[in-house]
Amino acid sequence: MSGLTKKIVALAGVSAFVAGNAVAAELTVVSWGGAYTKSQVEAYHKPWMAQSGHSIISEDYGGGIAEIKAQVESGNVTWDVVDVELSDAIRACDEGLLEEIDHSSLPAAPDGTPAVDDFLPGTLHDCAVANIVWSSVYVYDSSKVRNWNAPKTMADFFNTDAYPGKRGMRKSPKVTMEFALIADGVPVSEVYDVLGTEEGIERAFAKLDTIKDDVIWWEAGAQPPQLLADGEVIFTTAWNGRVFNAVAAEDQSFEMVWDGQIYDLDLWVIPKGSKNVEAALDFVRFSTATEQLANQASWISYGPARASSVPLIGTYHDNPAIKMADHMPTAPGNFANALQNDFEFWADNQDDLNERFNAWLAQ
Amino acid sequence: MDAAQPITAADGTPLKKKLAQAMFRSKLRATGLVVPLLAFVLASFVFPIIALMWQGVYNDTFERLMPNLTEELRVWDGVSEPTEDMYAMLVADLRQNRADKTIGKVASRVNQELAGTRSLFTSTARKAKKLEPPYKESVIKTKKKWGELKVWQAMKLTNQSLTPGFYATSLDAVQTVDQGFVMKEDKRQIYTKLFVRTLMISGSVMLLCLLLGYPVAYLLATLPLRYSNLLMIMVLLPFWTSLLVRTTAWIAILQSQGVVNDLLVWIGITGDDSRFSLIYNMTGTIIAMTHILLPFMILPLYSVMKTIPPSYMRAARSLGATPTRAFIKVYMPQTVPGIGAGGLLVFILAIGYYITPALVGGQDGQLISNMIAYHMQKSLNWSLAAALGGLLLGGVLVLYWAYDRIIGIDNMKLG
Amino acid sequence: MLDGTNPFVRFRNVQKSYDGETLVVKNLNLDIEAGEFVTMLGPSGSGKTTCLMMLAGFETATHGEIELGGRPINNIPPHKRGIGMVFQNYALFPHMTVSENLSFPLKVRGMSAGDIQDKVTRALDMVQMRVFGDRKPAQLSGGQQQRIALARALVFEPELVLMDEPLGALDKQLREHMQYEIKHIHENLGVTVVYVTHDQSEALTMSNRIAVFDDGVIQQLDDPVTLYEKPENSFVAQFIGENNTLTGTIESLTGNVAKVKLEAGDSVKALAVNTDGKGSRTSLSIRPERCVVSPKKVAGLGMLKGRIEELIYLGDHIRCRMNVAGNDEFIVKVPNTADQLGLEIGAESYVGWQTDDCRALDFKQV
Ligand SMILES: Nc1ncnc2c1ncn2[C@@H]1O[C@H](COP(=O)(O)OP(=O)(O)OP(=O)(O)O)[C@@H](O)[C@H]1O
Ligand SMILES: [Mg+2]
């Protein structure tokens, strides 16, 4: 190599080094789309971009870790931060697909409580930091005149005599089978114990059999509000944030039944080998600070994962009459009979139960 | 002249050899021209398919990540009590995998064989560092399940890298250590049912496409140009709209509060409280898929019909055939290449469909491709997905072969 | 014809328009006797195929009646008309063998297998194609396909056979051979044939009568001799055979002899066939073989001065192109006789003809 080219290479190296530090990073943040992504853009992305000088490309996906796995294993990681469900976060972490996140680096609460104590129990993991608590509930449309009393319990969802008509449910054993057991009288604290036995599984399917002919199965989160609005179903299971959005932003008169709700977490993870790890970590730290989590709650009715955010929850961004705190899965009035999704149970049994669930569907 | 004597060229070399020499250069040039394409096809098509097939029978996750235990499991007979050595090697491998952050892969792999073992591996791996000999005792103390024989049998099976297990699963059977292959109990059988249903739905879609597409293609081929152009645009219009939009449109049309049912109620064919279920079931799947795949039937049919001059029909009629008879005996046989091409195209595309069935299929509109997609994207059991895909491919090849035997592949015209 | 009985095929005041704007066939009247071989001859686009298709039933007449065997057939569908048809591209069914093609019309008539076999064999024999029965049409040469198409149109013994330029795709030699064969078959079977062509020599060799079409109108309908010898208008004169045209104005009419003043100044006598009388313009038609070239005037012939432009030796005759009365495309066929005339290019000479051979027809600018 001649002296001149050596110099050029050296220069290029220097400029690349400079660029790495001074030039703003472009972060790809991936989430579930719709009203949920919008709440994140408003509460996290915009303020972070303004503060850090970096930019964010927001992408949508449909969940699962297939894409992360493909990116990491092919060595071509284009996603920097991804919003995933708990069971996926655990599994991806176990498989070495994620960067670890140091909990002590997360910002403390305004009163000085360290992050590890401020986050709700079970919301911090080796590779993942939760931002919200969301919930599966069932909904009905109170504007449609029917000759029945408003449903109150999970058992009502399965009661086709008192509530004749079609019901929407997610085409997945997860949540569906828990709902069946709760409706069948299993206390929420024992649901996973029962479901862990063969008899429990049989019992859940037996309960589901009673409504099988009346169920319309949905797969995408946007479907259930639509089914309800179209009058295709009288009840449907749904994610509470989507329902809230339909009520607050689209003026639908949907009512949620919180009895037997099953709540779960959404967490930030960083795929291993992300080209912007530092910026990604900064973004995760920024967005899971007390204030940002509280702000997000004024855009969608998902509960913040930090205790210190709860008192700060305000009103709906568009309508000061709606107090967001009342619509959170964790609001006292809603939380009376709630079940936390057991990620470990599902990590162990997802494949098996899914196979049985599909076999049951096909019968 | 002696018949056995080879014919020779002017310079005395046998004519055959001479011809071969003359052809060699042009053959060489032709080969040179197709090499890039061949390489491209190999790299982008043949190789991935072979890789996929291979993945369906070969999965070395366990053997690779648990090398010490592998040695022990090889010599273990599969029914006797696991030994202390086996537990020791298990702990050694778990420690290593914990350090390498690969325990999740092992856990997933064994969990495919025996449900409920994923957390067994991940949680024990977390504690593996602190475990002390005798290992058998201390391991079982962390989780009782480690003492169960079926866990060890599952490991012995996953330890086998070259395995028929995924194909067995694809056919609703399980491989066992001691009894070979056993069919799953009835309520767990799913894949064979889905294969049969997939073939049936694809077949119905193909027939419906033929029934609906044939007259349209005929009109396209026979109408004056200005009308046929308009019709052609209408046929192609669906291609310009996204699949999702088209599927959603069908939901709006067919749902029980949708346009069709409203119309039927209005006409009085059905009552307001007994509307038809046209969607979220097999009917909906077939209707939506037929619509989406219709152009693939119409276009090959059209391209064949376009080449059939009207004089054949006229000739048939002048010879005394009624219009129907002329159509059936003279026109239709000439469109067989188009029917074959369109049918095969629609059938093969239908077999691979999963977005539409997922959205409008409900409980009995699920197809095998939905399961493949599930194992590709959600359960990440790519080996099972590969095995299912392999069976599907095999099925298609058999059909292709049958088609070739019955109608002849050269008697097919794609455009 | 005019004998009062019903002809076999009759077009009465038939008009046809495809688009409602132009008439493709204008007021067609045509009678065809049983057993006749009638040819429709005319330039491309003159409406021949259209007439044939109306007769076969594939097009409906916009106006007028078509009768077959004394019955109006306007409302009878093609397959009930029992008319055999040979198409220009043969239209042999490609998915059937030759035998199957031939048995098709017999099968639809519900004949027994034995009868079908018999008839097919006979039809194949007729066109000398017996050994090709098991081949597909694609495995036959053009001429062979042509014969099969002919056999198929005849195998169910129709009384009327229509042929639309059946020989158009064949080379000259084969075409002439097939013309002969078709004529032969016609004579042997006694079927009525309506034949379409735009090749005039084909029409002249084969037909009993020829209908010359132009612009949707039959210009003249006559037997080949009359048509050639006595064309009734300029179009027919020019379309059939070779023809010299001179234009002029009629000075006087005596009986059927007109005195015509040519545009170049000379006056000639002509047979007034189709003129508008004294003072009207006319085109004179003279056949090249009816002219004589002579260095001196010959008594009794109309004679004009001309100059020899070109000579082509053709063995049996010499083709002599002259400039006569301003027309430098004036052709004279000089017989190759012993007493050579000493024709020379550039030589001034007289050219002459009998008055009867010079026909004064409707005026048509050339
Ligand atoms: N199907 C049709 N639609 C509209 N116009 C037509 C149709 N068929 C023929 N024509 C028109 O009618 C006129 C006569 O056509 P026809 O086919 O009868 O001519 P032809 O005498 O057979 O000519 P050719 O010798 O070229 O075959 C032509 O001007 C042609 O453009
Ligand atoms: Mg024609």
Which amino acid is present at A5?
Answer: T
Which tokens go with C239? 């379309």
CB-based contact, B166 to chain A, within 8 Å: no
Phi, psi of B78 (to 5 degrees): 95, -10
pLDDT confidence tier of residue A18, bands split at 50, 70 and 90: very low
Which tokens go with B79? 């029914």
CA B351 – CA B329 distance, rounded (Å): 32
CB-based contact, C166 to chain B, within 8 Å: no
Ligand 2 centre to CA of C44 (Å) is: 7
CA C279 – CA C252 distance, rounded (Å): 8
Handedness of CA A166, A170, A172, A174 (dihedral sign): negative
Q: What is the mean pLDDT of residues A53-62?
A: 93
Whole-number mean pLDDT of chain C? Answer: 90
Q: Which candidate, C152, C167, C50, places its Cα nearest to that of B330?
A: C152
CB-based contact, C85 to chain B, within 8 Å: yes
Is cis: bond before B134, omega within 30 of 0? yes
CA A59 – CA A23 distance, rounded (Å): 22
- Which residues in chain C (31-60) have CB-CB distances under 8 A to chain B? 56-58
CB contact under 8 A, B374 and A217: no
DSSP state of A157: H
* Segment among A348-357, B239-248, C158-167 with least mean pLDDT: B239-248
Sequence-separated (6 or more) residues with CB below 8 Å from residue B405:
none
Nearest CA to ligand 1 atom 25: C44
Nearest CA to ligand 1 atom 8: C50
SS3 assignment, position A18? helix
Exposed, middle or buried by CB within 10 Å (0-12, 13-18, 19+), for A334?
A: buried
- pLDDT for C232-269, tens place per residue? 999 999 999 899 999 999 998 888 889 999 988 888 88
Q: A81-85 and A235-239: which strand pairing?
A: unpaired
* Residue A354, min C-alpha distance to chain B (Å): 9
Ligand 1 centre to CA of B131 (Å) is: 98
Q: Which candidate, C325, C318, C324, places its Cα nearest to that of C343?
A: C318
Which amino acid is present at A169?
Answer: M
CA A53 – CA B376 distance, rounded (Å): 38
Which amino acid is present at B144?
Answer: K
Which tokens go with A300? 């969608």
Residue carrying structure tokens 């004679």:
C303
- pLDDT for A249-269, tens place per residue? 889 999 999 999 999 999 999
* Residue B348, min C-alpha distance to chain C (Å): 27
CB-based contact, B330 to chain C, within 8 Å: yes
For residue A351, what is the nearest residue in chain B, using CA coordinates? Answer: B379
Ligand 1 centre to CA of C44 (Å) is: 8
Task: Please report the domains of chain C, with CATH numbers, ordered by start residue.
Answer: 9-234 (3.40.50.300), 235-362 (2.40.50.140)
CA B312 – CA C87 distance, rounded (Å): 9
DSSP state of A311: G
CB contact under 8 A, C79 and B317: yes
> Which ligand approaches the C-alpha of residue C44 most closely?
1
Q: Which candidate, C291, C201, C185, places its Cα nearest to that of C246?
A: C291
Kindly calculate the radius of gyration of chain C based on its CA atoms and give it in whole angstroms. Answer: 25
Which amino acid is present at B38?
Answer: L
Q: Which candidate, C135, A350, A119, places its Cα nearest to that of B375?
A: A350
Interchain CB contacts (distance < 8 Å): A and B: 103
CB contact under 8 A, B119 and A166: no
pLDDT of residue C140: 93
Ligand 2 centre to CA of C43 (Å) is: 9
Phi, psi of C94 (to 5 degrees): -70, -20
pLDDT at C359 over 60: yes
Sequence-separated (6 or more) residues with CB below 8 Å from residue C34:
C8, C159, C192
More confident residue, A275 or B10: A275
CA B209 – CA B348 distance, rounded (Å): 13
Ligand 2 centre to CA of C164 (Å) is: 7
Nearest CA to ligand 1 atom 10: C18
Kindly calculate the radius of gyration of chain B based on its CA atoms and give it in whole angstroms. Answer: 31
Residues of chain B with Cβ-Cβ distance to A363 below 8 Å are 187
For residue B330, what is the nearest residue in chain C, using CA coordinates? Answer: C93
CB contact under 8 A, B111 and A348: yes
Contact C319, C242 (CB under 8 A): no
* Residue C46, min C-alpha distance to chain B (Å): 20
In ligand 1, the atom with minimum distance to the C-alpha of C18 is: 4
Which amino acid is present at C281?
Answer: R
Residue carrying structure tokens 């397959």:
C79
Residues of chain C with Cβ-Cβ distance to B314 below 8 Å are 56, 58, 78, 85, 87, 91
For residue C88, what is the nearest residue in chain B, using CA coordinates? Answer: B311
Q: Which chains touch B (3 or more CB pairs under 8 A)?
A: A, C
CA B347 – CA B209 distance, rounded (Å): 10
CB-based contact, C110 to chain B, within 8 Å: no
Which amino acid is present at C296?
Answer: K
pLDDT of residue A22: 46
pLDDT of residue C292: 87
pLDDT at A275 over 90: yes
Residue carrying structure tokens 């991940």:
B122
- Mutation pick for ligand 1 pocket among C15, C18, C25 (CB with most ligand atoms within 8 Å): C18
Percentage of chain A exceeding pLDDT 70? 93
ipTM: 0.83
CB contact under 8 A, C104 and B334: no
Domains A3-133+265-324 and A136-263+341-362 share a fold: yes
Q: CATH number of A3-133+265-324: 3.30.1050.10, 3.40.50.1820, 3.10.105.10, 3.40.190.10?
A: 3.40.190.10
pLDDT of residue C226: 93
CB contact under 8 A, A96 and B102: yes
Residues of chain C with Cβ-Cβ distance to B311 below 8 Å are 87-89, 91
Give the distance, in angstroms, between the CA of residue A184 and the centroid of all CA atoms in the same chain. Answer: 26
pLDDT of residue A3: 43
For residue C161, what is the nearest residue in chain B, using CA coordinates? Answer: B318
**Which residues line ligand 1 at a C-beta cut-off of 6 Å?**
C 18-19, 24, 42, 44-50, 198
CA C69 – CA C6 distance, rounded (Å): 8
Residue ranges per domain, chain A? 3-133+265-324, 136-263+341-362
In ligand 1, the atom with minimum distance to the C-alpha of C47 is: 18
pLDDT of residue C2: 43
Ligand 2 centre to CA of A325 (Å) is: 86
CB contact under 8 A, C91 and B315: yes
- pLDDT for A215-228, tens place per residue? 999 988 888 999 99
| Of the partner residues A62, A66, A361, the one whose CB lies closest to the CB of residue B380 | A66
Residues of chain B with Cβ-Cβ distance to C84 below 8 Å are 318-319
Q: CATH number of A136-263+341-362: 3.40.190.10, 1.10.260.40, 3.90.730.10, 3.40.109.10?
A: 3.40.190.10
SS3 assignment, position B248? helix
Contact C42, C214 (CB under 8 A): yes
Ordered per-residue pLDDT tens for chain B, 415 residues: 445 566 777 777 788 888 888 888 888 888 889 999 999 989 988 998 898 889 999 999 999 999 999 999 999 998 999 999 999 999 999 999 999 989 999 999 999 999 889 999 999 999 999 999 899 999 999 999 999 999 999 999 999 999 999 999 999 999 888 878 999 988 889 999 999 999 999 999 999 999 999 999 999 999 988 999 999 999 888 888 888 888 888 988 998 888 999 999 999 888 887 888 888 888 999 999 999 999 999 999 999 999 999 899 999 999 999 999 999 999 999 999 899 889 989 999 999 888 888 888 888 778 899 899 989 888 889 999 999 999 999 988 898 888 888 877 776 666 5
CB-based contact, B316 to chain C, within 8 Å: yes
Phi, psi of A148 (to 5 degrees): -140, 160
| Of the partner residues C56, C88, C156, the one whose CB lies closest to the CB of residue B320 | C156
| Of the partner residues B101, B120, B376, the one whose CB lies closest to the CB of residue A66 | B376
> For helices B191-222 and B225-236, what crossing angle results, to 10°?
160
> Which ligand approaches the C-alpha of residue C47 most closely?
1
Ligand 1 centre to CA of C196 (Å) is: 13
Contact C232, C220 (CB under 8 A): yes
For residue B325, what is the nearest residue in chain C, using CA coordinates? Answer: C108
Handedness of CA B250, B251, B252, B254 (dihedral sign): positive
pLDDT at C132 over 50: yes
CB contact under 8 A, B359 and A219: yes
CB-based contact, B349 to chain A, within 8 Å: no
CB contact under 8 A, A231 and B105: no
pLDDT confidence tier of residue A1, bands split at 50, 70 and 90: very low
Q: What is the mean pLDDT of residues A85-105?
A: 92
Sequence-separated (6 or more) residues with CB below 8 Å from residue C103:
C116, C120
CA B303 – CA B307 distance, rounded (Å): 7
More confident residue, C245 or C2: C245
Q: A235-239 and A128-141: which strand pairing?
A: antiparallel
Provide the Cα torsion B134, B136, B141, B142; round to 10°. Answer: 100
- SS (HEC) of A175-196: HHHHHHHHHCCCCHHHHHHHHC
**Strand positions, DSSP E, B118-270:** 173-176, 180-183
For residue B310, what is the nearest residue in chain C, using CA coordinates? Answer: C91
Residues of chain A with Cβ-Cβ distance to B105 below 8 Å are 94-96
Task: Report the residue count for chain C.
Answer: 366
Best of B243, B278, B377 to disrupt the A interface (most A CBs within 10 Å) is: B377
pLDDT of residue C195: 96
